[in-house]
Chains A and B, each alone.
Chain A
Amino acid sequence: MKIEFIKFKNYRQYREEQIDFTGVNDVTVIEGAMDSGKSSILNAITWCLYGEEIQLDKEKEGYPIINMITLRKMKPGDSARVEVEIRMKDNEGNQHIFIRYLDVRKESGEKGYYIIKNPDSKYTDGSMFTYLKTEKGRGEISLTPPEYFLEQIMPSNIKEYFFFDGDQLNLYFERSSGEKIKNAVFDISQITLLADVIDRLQDKKRELLKSIKDGGSAYEDVKGLLSSYEKTSKELKLSNKELLHKKQVFGKAEREVTQALLKCGYTDIESLEKESERLRIEIKALGEELVNLEKDKFDELIKSALPIICYDRILKTRNLIENADIPPPFKRDFIERLLKDRFCVCGTNLKKDKSAENELRKVLDKTSEVTNMQSDFIETKGELRGIIDELNTFIQNQTDYSKNIKKKSKEFDDKSKRVDEIKIKIGGIDKVKIQNLKNKQTEHLKEIEKLSTEIGEHTIKIAEAETKIKQYEGELEKVTKEKEKYKTISELVELLTHSIEEAERIRDGIIEEVRSKITNETKEQFFKIHWKKESYKDVNITDNYEISLLDPKGWETIGTISKGTRQVLAFSFLAALNSVSGFKAPIVIDTPLGRISGEPKLNIVKYLCKFLPGRQIIILMTDQEYTSEIRKELLSRLNHEYKIKIDQTSYGNEAKVIKYEK
């Protein structure tokens, strides 16, 4: 990668300037006196690429970034743009254009200006950074964030090794700078890239492992369950078969017993006993009926006895009553009353009429007491008639009773006879044998029931097992698929594992290689350039990129080395870094020789020539640094020579870069 040109617009001393770097050779020298704007070039570059002016000395702190002439020319309210454009070209002929700009508004008042911070800016100063890439033959293509691109080739945290500021040697090899150097080294040597790939592979591996965490075992589990249920089902079915057979055996035995019972007349017993029982009840009822009949018959007999014997008398009495004057013409009482009252019915006063009274007395004498009793007679007659009527049915009743009694007695006897018959019959049956057989039968039936229950339970269990079997067959299908998937995933995991292992091995190898390469390069360069080689024995770079410089005694000297030595060490390290970056970034060196005195200067310069062939080197030197001696050394690699000239105008000074040959 080489810088083709740098364009300045309103940037500090450079109001409108362009520096061209293209050419056959690699080295460009820009000579400028102190404070002429030399450092501004370096600052411009770092501001453009990193948004940071790497070198700000005290004097510049007061000055705005915008060119003073432009600012002075502006009216309040006017705005102007500060811009730095760096155009680079890579080995494939592609152009990379980096532009950073900042707008400034002129204001009245003390400060005089106001920096318009762009709201989309990612930078503290509010500037905007664009990056364009043009590919050979094609138009301009815009690519997103240039920061990423730069990090691969010129990481910002080691920018001091690409944009070397001789005035700030203290930046180099600070304690705890190792970490940032290490990170930058890893970035440029693409160890970070490799590490990222490893991370990505590991993430994927983790993801895959998670997805199959139970993959393998699930298959085994389901298979296990399935076969256990199949076994259960089979066993139960077999068991049921046996039980059924047993049941049949018992069934047969039970039938045999039943036959035997029949032979013994068992069923007879039951029916006979039932019959007997029924008969007994009937007999009892009959008995009661008979008793009642006998009683009724007897009662009637007794009741009829007197009437029958008195039959003649009854008739006679009836005749007498019938023939009697009933009702009588008058009652005796009546006559007595008349006599008592002494008045006759005809009205005759018997007190006066003695003959009438006597006549009446005669009548009284003739009148029987019986005349007073007419109601008795009538009643008696009635009753006697009743008796006769009742007697008329006597014979029939008695006959009926007798018949009934006879009939029921026969029934009674027949039934009793039957009961006796049954008793004999039952007595003939072998009760003991029957009881034994009955017991056996009960046992058999119990067994049969037990077996039936067991068979039933088994059947249910079999059905359950079958359901489960169906279920697990389905699941097995599923987990078999899973297993296949698992197998695939296992393969992938294995692949990833190997890849990761290899990548890590490569990474570790490269880390070591890079480190030792850097160490060796640094050491080599250092001892090549340094004028007091014997003062130092070794250069070491730890795994954490802490650089140490050891004296012959093995003491650490890094904290106490001279500026010159530090510079040499820095260059050496820079060279070493560049050798491992795999990417040839341009190098800008400001005041390389400023702090160094004497012999080393020449050494460094000599060295610079051989240092990093093929790399673009831009050197910013003071006129004191750029001696003819130095120039002679650089000549073979020299591309351009520029000088910074200060133009003085009414508005102020501006810097111009002009070609120059000494």
Chain B
Amino acid sequence: MKNESKESAKVDRVYIKEDDRKTYSMLKTQGPLKGLSNKELFMLALTLGIKNRHRTPYGSKKPDGFFLLKDLNEKETSLFYAIAISEEKSLDVLTDKNKVFKIAEEYANCGIHLLKNEVFEKDHLGYIDRLETFLRKEFERQNTNRSKDL
């Protein structure tokens, strides 16, 4: 395995597509997710992206810094690692932090649109309830799978 140090480009923030900034703003200022921080919205977008198993790469435009890595707590950082590791099916990905966050970012790039849809296109008053229902379902499914696994 080629061990390239991909640490040359220092990563200190999480990026989004420049075009998506508008959407994030809208979500931040209107609707049921009003008041959430950039990080929190990103995480939601990431959630939806992962659920949909779709990664949207950046394209030609330069990505925008959205929030700093130091804003992430240890648990959140670990989640990012877990996503990357499970995506690459290897622990080695951690040697390339750039790659780790890029994976998450690509998922979020997809997820943000899905989020926008959920919140604004559909009945946005009920979004949180839907979110809750969805997460409950998902959680229960995980549980049963877990017990299955055990």
Q: Footprint of B on A, CB under 8 Å?
A: 298, 301-302, 304-318, 320-321, 324, 332, 365, 368-370, 372-373, 376-377, 379-380, 383-384, 386-387, 391, 394-395, 398
Contacts and interface: CB of A to CB of B under 8 A. Distances in A.
Contacts of B76: 306
A302 B83 CA distance: 18
Nearest to B141: A311
Interface in B100-131: 128, 131
A369 B82 contact: no
A391 B139 contact: yes
B40 interface: yes
A308 B137 CA distance: 10
Given A298-B128, A302-B40, A368-B1, A314 B79 contact: yes
A310 B3 CA distance: 28
A311 B82 CA distance: 9
Given A316-B85, A376-B94, A301 B74 contact: no
Contact of A317 (B82, B140, B149): B82
A324 B40 CA distance: 32
A309 B54 CA distance: 13
Nearest to B3: A369
Given A306-B79, A307-B79, A379 B74 contact: yes
Nearest to A295: B35
Contacts of B5: 369
A383 B92 CA distance: 19
Given A368-B3, A370-B92, A309 B138 contact: yes
A354 B78 CA distance: 42
B133 to A, nearest CB: 10
A384 B131 contact: no
B75 A387 contact: yes
A308 B139 contact: yes
17 contacts: A301-B128, A306-B47, A307-B79, A309-B138, A311-B142, A313-B86, A314-B82, A314-B86, A315-B146, A316-B89, A317-B82, A368-B1, A368-B91, A369-B3, A370-B92, A384-B78, A398-B132
Contacts of A369: 3, 5, 92, 95
A373 B79 contact: no
Nearest to A376: B94
Contacts of A314: 79, 82, 86
B62 interface: no
B104 to A, nearest CB: 10
Given A383-B78, A384-B82, A394-B139, A305 B91 contact: no
A304 B76 CA distance: 11
B86 A309 contact: no
A317 B86 contact: yes
Nearest to A386: B75
Given A368-B3, A387-B75, A395-B136, A302 B92 contact: no
Contacts of A380: 77-78, 81-82
Contacts of A391: 139
Main secondary structure of the interface of B (DSSP, over half): helix
A325 to B, nearest CB: 10
Contact of B83 (A308, A313, A368): A313
B135 interface: yes
B95 A373 contact: yes
B105 to A, nearest CB: 14
Nearest to B90: A320
B14 interface: no
Contact of B142 (A312, A318, A379, A383): A312
Most chain A CB within 10 A, of B1, B78, B142, B149, is at B78
A381 to B, nearest CB: 8
Given A379-B78, A384-B79, 16 more contacts: A302-B40, A306-B79, A310-B83, A317-B81, A318-B82, A320-B85, A321-B91, A332-B3, A365-B3, A369-B5, A370-B94, A373-B95, A386-B75, A391-B139, A394-B135, A395-B140
A304 B142 CA distance: 13
A377 B84 CA distance: 13
B112 to A, nearest CB: 14
B101 to A, nearest CB: 14
A571 to B, nearest CB: 161
B69 interface: no
B103 to A, nearest CB: 11
Nearest to B6: A369
B82 A324 contact: no
B70 interface: no
B108 to A, nearest CB: 10
Contact of A302 (B43, B138, B140): B43
Nearest to A325: B91
Given A320-B90, A387-B79, A301 B95 contact: no
Given A302-B40, A376-B94, A398 B136 contact: yes
